[in-house]
């Protein structure tokens, strides 16, 4: 089909629309919002790619997926061929197809976007990845090279760790992932809600890694159960990707009232422990009637949409800048609004006011207006004199960000850190300790799944060079 299509015909195709669960229905359950494309929709969308020679989309991808190639195979109806290209480049394509900010990466560079809308690369990645999962038998197992006899320890089973593990296993190295929590996936499982990334997807991506011979040991807290020094003596190289798991506090009065959560606690209770969404779970969560989520990033959107699904009458985003400055993906903001989330922008939290019995009752807010740009280039919010008011809120979730967790780094004195406690590493992930590499949020601070995966991929290549004596270690 694709080979016979003229350029004019390709250009005439409009961008596919993602089918979504009805907003009223979905705002009361945890089912995945985006339903995925049909095969016909996917093949048609793939034909929108004009196979331009300079391939800017690939440069926009932190893991360098061969996008035109997998789209070309998809357009030709060769799903197995497309899947082999995609899964060869990306260790977690079904995850990326769901949570990557394509609109600022591959799709932002797409030449079709210059005049019109870019190819829906993210939707197509998801389609091919899901097809590959459902047709694993047809694809066959990847051929692994002979074992090198070298062993690598990966600290953290999140996106960076999983990616590095897959890349290293494919090069014949023995890999063991150590995970502090009782289950795999890291932030993919405890942070990202079911309605954006079903847990089943994580389970299946991890299962694929296990087929490559990767071992995962949960309940091992590096820095506590075992130290970096112990791992160094038992393994030939290390990749540290233990995330940025330490919430930043608001440092406003009332933060220790009952009903005040960090985003990490709120999401972990619901996502990892199943509170409020799984009838078998014994972990409790407070179901707020008026839930105020402080922050404007993707984590804030995840929290506020979760609150809505837990039955909140009012689920509110409280953000001190305007919507234009929000770091959250446009799609997340759109979905949240459709689900009835209120956006109280240009509002800064001043204090959480209790009800006299220790429960959060109001969020005292200061109305703001935009002043001149600050260091980040965004217009700085400044208080509107005398404009304070109390917003009813029995649950308040702090989603302003996380910092580096010092649990591991505190027990590894040779590991150089920056002033925020993040591990210092070069562009290939090498740290101040030979043979120890690092990536993801422990290096970057709070960042994205795909940048963490890019770190994992680059560090795996560097570790391979280190172990085999090739290239600069």
Partner 1 sequence: MFEVIGNDILAPNLHRLTVRAPRVAAARRAGQFVMVRSAAGEERIPLTIGDADPAAGTITLYVQAIGASTRRIVAVPAGGALRDVAGPLGLPTHIANWGRVACIGGGVGTAVLYPLARALAEAGNEVTTIIGGRSAQYIILKDELAAFSRELLITTEDGSLGRKGFVTHALDDLITDPKLRPGAVFAVGPVPMMRAVAEQTRPHGIETVVSLNPIMIDGTGMCGGCRVVVGGVSRFACVDGPEFDGHQVDFANLTDRLSTYRKIEAEHACRLAGKETV
Q: Is 442 buried (19+), middle (13-18) or exposed (0-12) by CB count in 10 A?
A: buried
Contact window for partner 1 (CB under 8 A) among 38-46, 83-91, 239-247, 447-455 = 239-247
Query: What pairing do the DSSP bridges indicate for beta strands 215-217 and 174-178?
Result: parallel
Contact (CB, 8 A) for 239 and 197: no
CB of 397 to partner 1, least distance (A): 12
Tell whether residue 269 is a contact of partner 1 (CB under 8 A): yes
If the CB atoms of residues 68 and 247 are measured against partner 1, the closer one turns out to be 247
Tell whether residue 224 is a contact of partner 1 (CB under 8 A): yes
Task: For residue 309, give the nearest of 31, 21, 20, 22 by alpha carbon.
Answer: 31
List the one residue from 4, 53, 143, 280 that touches partner 1 (CB under 8 A). 280
Q: Which two tokens stand for residue 450?
A: 């795909």
3-state secondary structure of 386: strand
If the CB atoms of residues 179 and 325 are measured against partner 1, the closer one turns out to be 179
Residues 152 to 181 in contact with partner 1, rule: CB under 8 A:
180-181
Tell whether residue 255 is a contact of partner 1 (CB under 8 A): yes
Tell whether residue 253 is a contact of partner 1 (CB under 8 A): no
List the one residue from 77, 253, 371, 406 that touches partner 1 (CB under 8 A). 406
Tell whether residue 351 is a contact of partner 1 (CB under 8 A): no
Tell whether residue 294 is a contact of partner 1 (CB under 8 A): no
Query: Tokens 């075992």 label which residue?
Result: 226
Q: What is the C-alpha separation between 342 and 301, in angstroms, rounded?
A: 11
List the one residue from 37, 202, 220, 307 that touches partner 1 (CB under 8 A). 220
Handedness of CA 35, 37, 38, 41 (dihedral sign): positive
Tell whether residue 265 is a contact of partner 1 (CB under 8 A): yes
* CA angle, residues 471, 472, 473, in degrees to nearest 5: 110
If the CB atoms of residues 49 and 180 are measured against partner 1, the closer one turns out to be 180
If the CB atoms of residues 161 and 381 are measured against partner 1, the closer one turns out to be 161
Task: For residue 18, give the nearest of 335, 301, 450 by alpha carbon.
Answer: 335
Contact (CB, 8 A) for 347 and 368: yes
**Residues contributing to the site for partner 1 (CB under 8 A):** 180-182, 190, 218-221, 224-226, 245-247, 249, 255-256, 258-259, 261-262, 264-265, 268-269, 273-274, 278, 280-284, 286, 358, 405-407
């Amino acid at each position: 089909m694709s080979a016979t299509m003229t350029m004019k015909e390709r250009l005439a195709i409009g961008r596919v629309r993602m089918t979504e669960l009805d907003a009223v229905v979905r705002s009361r359950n945890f089912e995945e919002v985006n339903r995925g494309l049909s095969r016909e929709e996917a093949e048609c969308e793939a034909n929108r790619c004009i196979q331009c020679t300079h391939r800017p989309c690939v440069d926009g991808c932190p893991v360098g997926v061969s996008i035109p190639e997998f789209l070309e195979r998809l357009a030709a109806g060769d799903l197995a061929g497309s899947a082999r290209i995609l899964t060869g480049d990306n260790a977690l394509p079904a995850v990326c197809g769901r949570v990557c900010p394509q609109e600022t990466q591959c799709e932002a560079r797409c030449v079709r976007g210059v005049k019109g809308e870019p190819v829906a690369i993210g939707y197509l990645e998801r389609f091919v990845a899901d097809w590959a999962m459902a047709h694993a038998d047809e694809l066959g197992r990847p051929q692994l090279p002979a074992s090198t006899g070298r062993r690598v320890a990966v600290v953290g089973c999140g996106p960076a760790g999983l990616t590095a593990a897959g890349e290293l296993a494919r090069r014949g190295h023995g890999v063991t992932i150590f995970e502090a929590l009782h289950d795999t996936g890291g932030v993919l499982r405890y942070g990202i809600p079911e309605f954006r990334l079903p847990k089943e997807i994580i389970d299946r991506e991890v299962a694929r890694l296990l087929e490559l011979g990767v071992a995962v040991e949960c309940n091992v807290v590096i820095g506590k159960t075992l130290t970096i020094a112990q791992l160094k003596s038992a393994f030939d190289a290390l990749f540290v990707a233990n995330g940025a798991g330490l919430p930043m506090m608001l440092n406003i009065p009332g933060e220790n009232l009952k009903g005040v959560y960090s985003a990490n606690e709120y999401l972990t209770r619901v996502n990892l422990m199943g509170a409020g969404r799984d009838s078998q779970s014994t972990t409790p969560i407070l179901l707020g009637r008026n839930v105020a989520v402080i922050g404007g990033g993707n984590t804030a959107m995840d929290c506020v949409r979760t609150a809505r699904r837990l039955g909140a009458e009012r689920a509110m985003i409280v953000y001190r800048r305007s919507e234009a400055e929000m770091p959250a993906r446009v799609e997340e903001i759109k979905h949240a609004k459709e689900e009835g989330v209120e956006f109280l922008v240009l509002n800064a939290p001043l204090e959480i006011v209790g009800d006299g019995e220790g429960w959060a009752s109001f969020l005292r807010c200061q109305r703001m207006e935009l002043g001149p740009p600050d260091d980040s280039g965004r217009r700085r919010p400044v208080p509107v004199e005398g404009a304070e008011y109390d917003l009813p809120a029995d649950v308040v979730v702090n989603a302003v960000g996380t910092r580096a967790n010092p649990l591991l780094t505190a027990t590894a004195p040779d590991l150089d850190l920056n002033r925020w406690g993040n591990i210092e590493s070069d562009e290939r992930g090498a740290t101040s300790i030979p043979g120890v590499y690092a990536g993801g949020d422990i290096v970057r601070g709070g960042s994205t799944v795909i940048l963490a995966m890019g770190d994992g991929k680059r560090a795996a290549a560097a570790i391979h060079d280190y172990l085999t004596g090739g290239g600069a270690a």
